[in-house]
């Protein structure tokens, strides 16, 4: 080993030691939970029996139709919520790009749902759409319908998707507004000068230049929506469970901690791979437009 | 290339501020016209109005006789080089250059031809696959120019394109741009606040102030025959003084009475009034040997200060202590406080506006 290598090792060691309090804590907190869940899914940390290595929990759950129904349902909710939230946030971010009288108030108002806890939002939503809620009462009162409609806990999860979008669109707006505002006006003017109409400017300039912010918004919203519990419990369909709801049922109703750990691992995998797939898909679509 | 006609164009902001006031300019096809003026004079607003980014309040604009006043930027026969270059950071040099042709659905072979041609013209062939961030300021400026040229527009609009370059590179790119314009003959409207740049590059200059065109003319006309004190002072250095017209002598020169005594002006233009301002450039006075009384326009003045600039020395001289100092450029050095005989070339004195 020569002197320079030793210096390199020493430097690396110092950097590692300096980073350890921060990164080490993150690894400890996040890693320990994940490791414990993985271990539990293979029979360890068994709270209701003997702790032994076993693949029974995995084979049992993977053969369970309810798990796959929950996976598909959670994927659907997460994909739709993330994409619709971002799709709605873009035009608003572009509209608010250049300040105008009242734009700050509108922006603040649009971000207000971020301050409302999810459970509160879900209950308010139920108040509106329930059988004798504000919407039905108003429609009946106006004579537009003769009997109230059954809107609560719809079988497709539209209510949950609506709540997810309502709650997450402001977050997407927050990320995208900054990204859109960072595009110099001259760049958009140049595109216009070179013959690009509004749609072309959006597709060829705005989208690529805000890609990272969009991917960030999609990933974070996707992960949150995939793991949703509260909206699903209040406003979700009664015949289908989200993965989080299913995991709770397995653990709470049946006392199967190890099976619940399997569902937890599946949930984390779905959230991670689904969000990465979404980000990659967007990257592919937008990159494909570059020329 | 195309000709541009700006007819009585005005623009008033909602708060009542008149940023463009009755502008009237006729730009023949192939001309290099510069809009010159201090910050806030309206030159960039006029350029962006021509591009279609700023709607005008009144008047109209025509390109080759076609009224473009109400057309959006993408439908005008113009292309703009922005002060910030406005290159698309996510696209390569080639991607930037072909953005316009692709938008206008130019066929593939034609796109390839245009790309090759403009890359060669701006000497960036080796950089076509690089992103703008990998280029120097001068190269980015040339990409912006190439992108505009690839559109084959009738008119290219330049918004202070050299202002972000260092002095040496600015001189170089200035020459390159002028050569390209001369070679390809596109009509160019160029905005700058740098009078040296305007004088060096333009066929004609529009000097603007407060939204109005103060004077339109060739660099020589603007420099040697400024219309008023603002133009005289903005373009180069000028010595301005009040004068009373006495009359004309036998050879047609105007005789005027000034603080420097009686002077003669050989001017092709008539004075605007009996009492007018006149001006002369520092380099239009020469230090003459003492006792050169037989010549006209000679006066004595004391050297107040001097600065050696290399090729020339800048002198500030006063006729009497209560006179404002005059600036003179000559060779050599003088002793401070020394009295010198100066002669102003009668052909280089020019009439400005009337004294109010």
| Domain count within chain A | 2
CB pair distance less than 8 Å for B103 and A190: no
Inside any domain, residue A205: yes
pLDDT value for B115 = 95
State pLDDT tens for residues B242-259: 999 999 888 888 999 998
Look up the CATH number of the domain holding residue A66. Answer: 1.10.3720.10
| Whether residue A195 sits in one domain with residue A246 | yes
Inside any domain, residue A139: no
CA angle A274, A119, A38 (to 5 degrees): 40
- Taking residues B232-246, report their average pLDDT: 91
In order along its 291 residues, chain A shows pLDDT tens digits of: 455 556 788 888 998 889 888 888 888 888 898 999 999 999 988 877 788 888 999 999 999 999 999 999 999 999 999 999 999 999 999 999 988 999 999 999 999 999 999 889 989 989 998 888 899 999 999 999 998 888 888 889 999 999 999 999 999 999 999 999 999 999 999 999 999 999 999 999 999 999 999 999 999 999 999 999 999 999 999 899 999 999 999 998 888 889 999 999 999 999 999 999 999 999 998 876 554
Residues of chain A in contact with residue B143, where contact means CB-CB under 8 angstroms, are none
CB pair distance less than 8 Å for B82 and A208: no
Return left, alpha or beta for B267; rule: phi > 0 is left, psi -120 to 50 is alpha, else beta.
beta
| Whether residue A208 sits in one domain with residue A168 | yes
Residues of chain A in contact with residue B98, where contact means CB-CB under 8 angstroms, are 291
CB pair distance less than 8 Å for A186 and B147: no
Residues of chain A in contact with residue B74, where contact means CB-CB under 8 angstroms, are 192-197
Task: Locate the domains of chain B by residue range.
Answer: 4-229, 240-354
Residues of A with CB under 8 A from a CB of B: 184, 186-187, 189-197, 200, 204-205, 208-209, 290-291
Q: Which domain holds residue A6?
A: 1-41
User: What residue has token string 């025959």?
Assistant: B225
Residues of B with CB under 8 A from a CB of A: 51-53, 72-74, 78-80, 82-84, 86-91, 95, 98-100, 102-104, 147, 151
| Whether residue A191 sits in one domain with residue A281 | yes
Residue A10 and residue A185: Cα distance in Å, rounded? Answer: 48
Tell me the two tokens of residue B8. 């009585």
pLDDT value for A48 = 73
Give the residue from chain A lying closest to B156, CA to CA.
Answer: A193
| Min Cα separation B149/chain A (Å) | 11
**Strands (E) located in B43-140:** 58-63, 66-67, 78-81
Residues present in chain A in total: 291
Residue A147 and residue A131: Cα distance in Å, rounded? Answer: 9
Residues of chain A in contact with residue B83, where contact means CB-CB under 8 angstroms, are 186
Give the residue from chain B lying closest to A290, CA to CA.
Answer: B91
State pLDDT tens for residues B289-327: 877 666 788 888 889 898 988 888 999 999 888 888 999
| Whether residue A254 sits in one domain with residue A170 | yes
| Whether residue A239 sits in one domain with residue A98 | yes
User: Strand, coil or helix: what is B309?
Assistant: coil
| Whether residue A7 sits in one domain with residue A88 | no
| Whether residue A74 sits in one domain with residue A33 | no
Architecture, CATH, for domain B4-229: 3-Layer(aba) Sandwich (3.40)
Q: If one looks up domain B240-354 in CATH, what number appears?
A: 2.40.50.140
Inside any domain, residue A134: no
Assess contact for A191 and A214: CB atoms under 8 A.
no
Q: The complex's ipTM?
A: 0.78
- Taking residues B330-356, report their average pLDDT: 88
Inside any domain, residue A125: no
| Whether residue A237 sits in one domain with residue A187 | yes
pLDDT value for A4 = 55
Q: How far is CA A122 from CA A76, A155, A160, A249, A281, in A?
A: 19, 16, 8, 20, 31
- Taking residues B172-195, report their average pLDDT: 86
Residue A96 and residue A204: Cα distance in Å, rounded? Answer: 20
Residue B222 and residue B5: Cα distance in Å, rounded? Answer: 21
Query: A40: buried, middle or exposed (CB in 10 Å: 19+, 13-18, 0-12)?
Result: buried
User: What residue has token string 């076509």?
Assistant: B128
User: Strand, coil or helix: what is B286?
Assistant: strand
């Amino acid at each position: 080993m020569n002197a320079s290598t030793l210096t390199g090792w020493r430097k690396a060691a110092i950097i590692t030691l300096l980073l350890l309090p921060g990164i080490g804590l993150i690894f400890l907190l996040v890693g320990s939970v994940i490791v414990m869940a993985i271990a539990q899914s293979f029979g360890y940390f068994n709270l209701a029996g003997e702790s032994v290595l076993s693949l029974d929990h995995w084979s049992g759950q993977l053969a369970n139709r309810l798990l796959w129904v929950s996976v598909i349902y959670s994927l659907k909710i997460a994909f739709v919520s993330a994409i619709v939230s971002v799709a709605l946030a873009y035009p608003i971010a572009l509209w608010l790009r250049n300040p105008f009288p009242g734009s700050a108030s509108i922006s603040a108002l649009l971000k207000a749902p971020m301050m409302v806890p999810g459970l509160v939002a879900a209950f308010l939503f139920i108040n509106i759409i329930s059988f004798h809620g504000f919407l039905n009462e108003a429609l009946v009162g106006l004579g537009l319908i003769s009997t109230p409609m059954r809107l609560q806990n719809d079988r497709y999860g539209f209510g949950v998707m609506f709540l997810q979008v309502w709650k997450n669109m402001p977050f997407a707006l927050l990320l995208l507004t900054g990204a859109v505002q960072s595009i110099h006006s001259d760049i958009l003017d140049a595109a216009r000068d070179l013959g690009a109409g509004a749609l072309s400017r959006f597709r060829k300039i705005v989208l690529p230049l805000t890609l990272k912010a969009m991917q960030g918004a999609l990933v974070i919203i996707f992960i949150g929506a995939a793991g949703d519990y509260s909206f699903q419990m209040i406003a979700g369909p009664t015949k289908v469970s989200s993965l989080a709801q299913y995991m709770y049922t397995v653990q709470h109703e049946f006392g199967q901690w190890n099976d619940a750990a399997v569902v937890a691992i599946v949930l984390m995998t779905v959230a991670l791979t689904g969000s990465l797939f979404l980000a990659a898909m967007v990257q592919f679509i937008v990159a494909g437009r570059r020329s | 290339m195309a000709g541009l006609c700006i007819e009585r164009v005005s623009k008033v902001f909602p708060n009542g501020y008149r940023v463009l006031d009755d502008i009237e300019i006729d730009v023949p096809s192939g001309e290099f016209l510069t809009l010159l003026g201090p910050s806030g004079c309206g030159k960039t607003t006029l350029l962006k109005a021509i591009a279609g980014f700023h709607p005008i309040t009144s008047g109209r604009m025509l390109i080759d006789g076609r009224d473009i006043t109400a057309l959006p930027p993408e439908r005008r026969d113009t292309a703009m080089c922005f002060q910030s270059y406005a290159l698309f950071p996510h696209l390569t040099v080639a991607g930037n250059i072909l953005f316009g042709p692709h938008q206008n659905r130019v066929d593939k072979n034609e796109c390839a031809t245009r790309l090759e041609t403009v890359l060669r013209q701006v000497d960036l062939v080796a950089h076509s696959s690089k992103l703008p961030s990998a280029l120097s300021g001068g190269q980015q400026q040339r990409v912006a120019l190439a992108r505009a040229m690839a559109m084959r527009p009738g008119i290219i609009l330049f918004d202070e394109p050299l202002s972000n370059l260092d002095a040496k590179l600015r001189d170089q790119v200035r020459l390159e741009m002028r050569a390209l314009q001369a070679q390809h003959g596109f009509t160019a409207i160029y905005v700058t606040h740098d009078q040296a740049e305007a004088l060096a590059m333009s066929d004609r200059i529009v000097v603007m102030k407060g939204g109005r065109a103060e004077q339109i003319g060739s660099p020589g006309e603007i420099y040697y025959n400024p219309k008023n004190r603002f133009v005289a002072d903005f373009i180069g250095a000028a010595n301005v003084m009040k004068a009373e017209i006495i009359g004309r002598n036998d050879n047609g020169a105007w005789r005027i009475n000034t603080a420097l005594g009686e002077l003669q002006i050989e001017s092709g233009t008539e004075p605007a009034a009996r009492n007018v301002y006149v001006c002369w450039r520092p380099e239009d006075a020469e230090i003459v040997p003492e006792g050169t009384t037989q010549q006209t326009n000679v006066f004595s003045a004391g050297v107040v200060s001097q600065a050696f600039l290399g090729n020339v020395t800048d002198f500030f001289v006063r006729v009497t202590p209560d006179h404002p100092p005059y600036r003179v450029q000559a060779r050599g050095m003088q002793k401070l406080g020394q009295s010198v005989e100066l002669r102003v070339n009668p052909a280089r004195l020019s009439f400005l506006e009337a004294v109010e």
